[in-house]
Structure 1
Amino acid sequence: MQIWSQAPKNRTIAKYVALYWLIEKTDEDDSNHFPKLNPEPATHLILCPPQQRYRYQTLPTESKGKGCHWLYPQQQTLQLDHSERFIYLGVKFHIGALYSLNIEGYNHPTLNRAVNADIDQLLETENSDVEQLIELGRIEPCKCSDKLDELLLPLFIKTSEDQHSELTRKVLPLLDEYPISELGERLFCSQRTLERSFNRVTGLTMKQCQSMNKLEAMLEYLYQREAADIDWAEVAFKFGFSDQPHLIRHLKKQIGLTPTNYAEQRGLTIDIYGGVESR
């Protein structure tokens, strides 16, 4: 399986896009057919061949279709269908970035869905060759990233910022450093104002976003260690849980696995869409 990620070089785009990524599975690849995608507060624009199917499931609902699509922030772990060969070229936006983009049909944050994307309409062109771009990504990641910068730049020149987006941008880097109860004082505004602006821009509460970020950091930490080397009491302390049972309940709620289950299946629960590379 081929996987890569690249940060955009253009500063205007980097304000709204976290990274570009590609993942490809061939017929010879025997990796897991139904991997998991962790809860994710960011939106992805995923480019793929027009007849290639996608399917994201979290019981009892699912999103499915063909071709290029938006994958909006999801609050639950998704099961992916990777049973057939595929290639995805993705654009991972910063949390809440779509709020500031003048994209037709995007009037408010959308959660827990994947929907088809019209790339020609999005880029206001009649000849965006998605398959040629994907082929470039397959063989020359750096040139593909440069091409994405070129294609996407017009989309980001038309952005519009307001007080809500500006306040949310200030909040995001603080979520991983400070208790939410302290953010209002640090940013010189009321807690209610922070919550209202953050929810308006992202569709999430600050607590929900903070929890997703902590889960991602914790799973990456665990992923880099062998099961025998994991001290769960130490992990609970490191990531701010009151005790080991608290950690167990959190993992069970977020990804449907206990720590023991996760240690056995951790390669199946990593965010392979622009996150840690799958084993």
Structure 2
Amino acid sequence: MLHWIIPSTSKLSDFIECYWFIEKNTGAGDNFPKLNPDPCAHLIFAPCSEPYSYGYAKQQELGQGSHLLLAHQNTFDLDHSKSFTHLGVKFKVGVPYMMSLTTSEEGQLDVVKQIDTNKLMSVNAAALSEFFCIG
């Protein structure tokens, strides 16, 4: 497993806590880790065919590709049984609610919202897959 975290030191540091990366191959490390509650939201970039799964109590947030993990008060059970590559941006508390990343209907806890990278920053799926070296 490869991972790193870099604090934001640019002009964006008023909005961004840090940038992070994690890559896991099948069979390496814990396949079902827990994600502790976090008041910060994370924008997670991933290849469009890559599944994600966040579960707590009897709730399950499932999807594929890039997504926005909003602030959460529950501990999530993650499914890391398959290989994955994630590049993340951890926002400071409240930032996604100030931006157009969420709407008032979505402005709640424990929500995962699928993100269309084409609309977000004009990056198409092929370019994102190329960035992650996925064929």
TM-score bracket for the superposition, by shorter chain length: 0.7 to 0.9
One of 96, 99, 108 as aligned partner of 1:98: 96
Q: d(CA) in 1 for partners of 2:81 and 2:102?
A: 32
On the 8 A contact 1:20/1:92 being kept in 2, the answer is yes
Find the counterpart in structure 2 of residue 79 from structure 1.
Answer: 77
8 Å CA contact retained: 1:17, 1:93: yes
- SS of the counterpart of 1:14? helix
Structure 1 match to 2:35? 37
Secondary structure at the counterpart of residue 90 of structure 2: strand
User: Which residue identity lines up with residue 3 of structure 1 in the other structure?
Assistant: H
C-alpha distance in 2 between matches for 1:20 and 1:134: 16
The whole-number CA distance in structure 2 between the counterparts of 1:66 and 1:54 is 6
Q: Normalised by the size of structure 2, how large is the TM-score?
A: 0.87
Residues of 2 paired with 1:98 and 1:32: CA distance? 30
Aligned identity (percent) is 32
Structure 1 counterpart of 2:59, which letter? T
Q: Please report how far the alpha carbon of residue 134 of structure 1 lies from its aligned counterpart in structure 2 after TM superposition.
A: 3.4
Per the alignment, residue 2 of structure 1 pairs with 2
Contact 1:20 1:91 in 2 (8 A): yes
Determine if contact 1:89/1:134 at 8 Å carries over to the other structure: no
- For residues 21 and 31 of structure 2, the distance between their equivalents in structure 1, rounded to whole angstroms, comes to 17
Q: Where does structure 1 lack aligned partners over 5 or more consecutive residues?
A: 136-279
Q: Could you state the TM-score of these two structures normalised by the residue count of structure 1?
A: 0.44
- Structure 2 residue aligned with 1:70: 68
- State the secondary structure of the residue aligned to 1:75: coil
Equivalent residue pairs, number: 131
> Which whole-Å deviations, capped at 9, do the CAs of 1:191-242 have from their partners, x for residues lacking one?
xxxxxxxxxxxxxxxxxxxxxxxxxxxxxxxxxxxxxxxxxxxxxxxxxxxx
Q: SS at the partner of 1:27?
A: coil
Q: CA deviation at 1:64?
A: 0.3
**C-alpha separation between the residues in 1 aligned to 2:124 and 2:50?**
19
What's the secondary structure of 2:129's corresponding residue? helix
Structure having the larger proportion of residues in helix = 1
Alignment of 1:144-159 (within 5 A): none
Work out whether 1:58 is the aligned partner of 2:56.
yes
Deviation of 1:27 (Å): 3.1
Q: Quick one: distance in 2 between partners of 1:27 and 1:39?
A: 25
* 8 Å contact kept, 1:37–1:79: yes
Shift of 1:28: 5.3
Q: Tell me, what secondary structure is at the counterpart of 1:132?
A: helix
Distance, in Å, in 2 between the alignment partners of 1:134 and 1:104 is: 23
Q: In the TM superposition, what is the alpha-carbon distance from 1:105 to its structure 2 partner?
A: 5.0
Q: Amino acid of the residue matched to residue 22 of structure 1? A: F
Counterpart contact for 1:22–1:90, Cα < 8 Å: yes
Structure 2 distance, partners of 1:97, 1:132, is 29
Query: SS at 1:34's partner residue?
Result: coil
CA-atom RMSD in angstroms:
1.8
Residue 104 (structure 2) pairs with residue 107 (structure 1): yes
Tell me which residue corresponds to 1:15: 14
Structure 1: distance between partners of 2:34 and 2:45: 20
The residue correspondences of 1:163-174 to structure 2 (distance < 5 A) are none
Deviation at 1:26, TM superposition (A): 1.2
Q: CA deviation at 1:127?
A: 4.1
Query: Aligned residue for 1:47?
Result: 45
